[in-house]
Amino acid sequence: MKTLEWNVDNHVDNLKNNPQIVEAANLLKQNEIIAFPTETVYGLGANATSDEAIAKVYEAKGRPSDNPLIVHIANFSQLHALVLEIPEKAEKLMKEFWPGPLTIIFKVRPGFLSKKVTAGLDTVGIRMPDHPLALSLIKAANLPVAAPSANSSGKPSPTTAKHVHEDLFGQIAGILDGGETGIGVESTVVDCTVEVPIILRPGGVTKEAMESVIGKVEIDPALNENLKSKPKAPGMKYTHYAPNAPVYLVNGTPEFIQVLVKKSREEGLVVGVIATDETADLYDADYVRACGSRQDLSTVANRLYDTLRSFNSKNVDIIYSEVFSTEGVGLAVMNRLEKAAGHKWIYENDLTK
């Protein structure tokens, strides 16, 4: 398949009528799929009302078809056409955080969206992205746009058009290049169909921020269980956001991580380390990448996926990663690192008792 690539300046006036955006929007109307930037990661957009278009998304990504997709909208009139009701707490969250990195789960209005979007569920996740190109594309297409991350399933999500090119060139109709994304991890997903909203996926909008608007918000128990306890057996969870080499999360000091690095190198392995600005110089490994500062975990979120992808070009055999607090956006960072590692942990205390 021929993949068109357009480079559009985010700051140009009247983006909706930009000829490149109009061309991309016309392809969406023809049920082709287009990668485009949002404030979180690049999305792989498709006409959310078309079974044909949604099937192309699953095929291009290699994504299981029982995994529902998030629908992106550009205005509130689109929302009313897609959902049965808007709970009061959802309304407050939208007023505070839309446009922005927050996906809200609603009861879906039957008969409009492709059932492939919802994977047969009676709910749908919807968000309004905070990116001028994304909003302009959706407005120009005049369609609700289903858009998972624009990467091969299981690989790190794309934060640049280059990442999309690496994974999907020749498999999709076009890539709309709007530069590097801002937040770097996907949107928070919160279920507002229940009395106390539940975070199903942590992301750019934190639990603390939502609670300041609507009061108590729960976290899906599965998230807490995965982040605070050891899996019962290795490999019991599948990996996602993963580079080619296996990732191990190390709960320990930099000195302990360096011991692991030294042992692996003595075994003939090429070793990588995911570090921070504060600790990168402490490691002697084949490739050390600082993914941000511990003093500001939003910098880690912003650079996490690019960091994970960078190890592929270095041909490393094993990657050891530092771990982070789960406060604020740190919950989203650790959620993604856990999935990238397939929940493989090494605990310094276990090995030094």
Question: 114 a known binding residue?
Answer: no
Label residue 226 by pLDDT band (50, 70, 90): low
What are the pLDDT digits (tens) for 251-262? 999 999 999 999
pLDDT over 90 (residue 147): yes
Q: Residue 274's pLDDT band (boundaries 50, 70, 90)?
A: very high
What's the CA gap between 51 and 55, in Å, rounded? 6
Mean pLDDT calculated for residue range 226-236: 40
pLDDT of residue 12 exceeding 90, the answer is no
State residue 98's pLDDT score.
98
User: Which pLDDT band, with edges at 50, 70 and 90, does 235 fall under?
Assistant: very low
Q: Percentage of the chain with pLDDT > 70?
A: 94
Q: Is the pLDDT of residue 237 over 70?
A: no
pLDDT in the model for residue 64? 79
Q: Would you list the DSSP string of 223-241?
A: HHHHHHS--SSTT-S---S
Overall average pLDDT of the 299-322 stretch: 96
The answer to the question of whether 14 is labelled as a binding residue is no
Region 30-45 average pLDDT: 97
Q: What's the token pair of residue 52?
A: 């044909």
Q: Is 127 annotated as a binding residue?
A: yes
Task: Give pLDDT tens digits for 115-134.
Answer: 999 998 999 999 999 999 99
Annotated binding residue 63: yes
Q: How large is the average pLDDT for residues 259-285? A: 98
Is the pLDDT assigned to residue 347 strictly greater than 80? yes
123 is in an annotated binding site: yes
310 among annotated binding-site residues = no
Q: Is the pLDDT of residue 152 over 70?
A: yes
User: Residue 7's pLDDT is what?
Assistant: 93
Q: Is 38 labelled a binding residue?
A: no
Question: Has residue 227 got a pLDDT over 70?
Answer: no
Distance CA 159, CA 149 (A): 9
Query: Is residue 72 a known part of a binding site?
Result: yes
Residue 143, pLDDT > 90, answer yes
Q: Is the pLDDT of residue 233 over 50?
A: no
Structural domains for the chain: 4-219 (3.90.870.10), 227-352 (3.40.50.11030)
Distance CA 46, CA 55 (A): 9
pLDDT at 10: 76
231 pLDDT band, cuts 50/70/90, is very low
The region of weakest confidence among 13-27, 103-117, 181-195, 213-227 is 213-227
Q: Is 11 annotated for ligand binding?
A: no
The answer to whether the annotation marks 264 as part of a ligand binding site is no
45 contacts 33 by C-beta, under 8 angstroms: yes
Cα distances (Å, whole numbers) of residue 174 to 226, 294, 316: 37, 37, 31
Overall average pLDDT of the 269-291 stretch: 98
Is 67 annotated in some ligand binding site?
A: yes
Q: How confident is the model over 56-71, as a mean pLDDT?
A: 90
**The tokens 């068109």 sit on which residue?**
4
Using pLDDT thresholds of 50, 70 and 90, give the confidence band for residue 277: very high
321 annotated ligand-binding residue = no
